[in-house]
Amino acid sequence: MKILHICAKDDWQQATARGEYLADSLENEGFIHCSRSEQVEKVANSFYVGLPGLVLLHIDADRLTAEVKWEAADGDEFPHIYGPINLDAVVEIEEFEPGEDGLFKYPS
């Protein structure tokens, strides 16, 4: 199953140099927030309005070495990754920029 994670391009570049992806939320909350494709637009427009320089990591959940748990939030269930993302689980990196109005559309 494919899940998605929004991150800054710079953070992804650091991950490729380090050999794994670590989000701030992993340290602060114990997991990395992810979404299904139909959830991404709402998430982006709730937390990243107007923020340039983002990418979407397309993650093959079956390739992850860390545990994925589906947990309830905001009346829906979201995938949370309880550990670093191993780079070979990331099957695609997609540019993810807001429109002129600052809002995101997905798919664009």
- List pLDDT tens digits, range 33-92: 999 999 999 999 999 999 999 999 999 999 999 999 999 988 899 999 999 999 999 999
Rounded distance between C-alpha atoms, residue 11 and residue 23, angstroms = 8
E strands in the chain:
2-8, 20-21, 32-33, 54-60, 67-73, 76-82, 85-86, 90-96
Q: Does domain 2-96 have CATH number 3.20.170.20?
A: yes
The band of 108, judged by pLDDT with boundaries at 50, 70 and 90, is low
Nearest partner of 108 among 33, 34, 56, judged by Cα: 56
